């Protein structure tokens, strides 16, 4: 028997089976996307910190990067393979995610203060356009983090719904099983 290519339908069926086994993967992918998004835009954050030089801005950026990595590690340790959920790691992951969201709000506040101050305001246009880009990036980062935290918190809700999805395949050879002679007698 030659092996036939599985096709697109089989590819998606296999992905659905893996999601049924590990539904926490959905939240993990969203949280990892938030980390990658922040990491790819780190130059804007660094340039903004160097331009504005607000108190605590560098620390907020550092805490965001550090807690992003550590929260992913905590998430992976919270859902060990074939074991119950590790509640302390899950709580620690939520605390770190909350701290990241707070750091994003803090950093955005420092940007707003620098742009709207009465004496020598920084204009986020032209050569300083990276400041407005950093502010909008932080908004998107917060939204992605909140979605990831919500998906993690709602895991007990959508896990049974994923289990109800039928991913079985029908095999035509199973109907002919009654005609196979298994007695061991030769004719």
The CATH number of the domain holding residue 74 is 1.20.120
For the chain, 187 residues long, give each residue's pLDDT as a single digit of tens. 445 556 888 888 888 888 888 999 999 999 999 999 999 999 999 999 999 988 999 999 999 999 999 999 999 999 998 899 999 999 999 999 999 999 999 999 999 999 998 888 888 888 999 999 999 999 999 999 999 999 999 999 998 988 888 878 776 655 555 566 666 666 5
Residue 87 domain flag: yes
Residue 90 domain flag: yes
Residue 187 domain flag: no
Total of domains in the chain: 1
Residues 6+ away with beta carbon under 8 Å from 44: 130, 133, 134, 137
Residue 3 domain flag: no
pTM for the predicted model, two decimal places: 0.83
Q: What angle do CA 129, 132, 134 make, to 5 degrees?
A: 105
Residue 28 domain flag: yes
* Alpha carbon distance 4, 131 (integer Å): 54
Residue 128 domain flag: yes
Residue 56 domain flag: yes
Give the domain range for residue 34. 22-161
Residues 6+ away with beta carbon under 8 Å from 145: 31, 34, 97, 100, 101, 104
Residue among 81, 71, 100 at smallest CA distance from 22: 81
Residue 14 domain flag: no
């Amino acid at each position: 028997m030659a092996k036939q290519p599985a096709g697109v339908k089989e590819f998606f069926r296999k992905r659905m089976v893996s999601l049924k086994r590990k539904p926490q993967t959905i939240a993990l992918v969203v949280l990892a996307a938030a980390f990658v998004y922040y990491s790819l835009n780190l130059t804007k954050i660094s340039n903004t910190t160097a331009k504005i030089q607000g108190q605590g801005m560098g620390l907020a950026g550092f805490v965001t990067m550090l807690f992003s990595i550590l929260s992913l590690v905590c998430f992976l340790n919270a859902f060990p393979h074939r074991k119950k959920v590790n509640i302390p790691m899950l709580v620690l992951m939520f605390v770190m995610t909350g701290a990241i969201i707070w750091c994003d709000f803090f950093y955005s506040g420092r940007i707003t203060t620098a742009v709207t101050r009465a004496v020598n305001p920084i204009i986020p246009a032209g050569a300083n356009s990276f400041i407005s880009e950093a502010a909008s990036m932080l908004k998107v980062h917060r939204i992605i983090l909140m979605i990831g935290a919500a998906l993690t918190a709602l895991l007990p809700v959508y896990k049974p719904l994923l289990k109800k999805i039928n991913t079985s395949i029908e095999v035509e050879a199973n109907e002919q099983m009654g005609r196979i002679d298994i007695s061991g007698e030769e004719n």
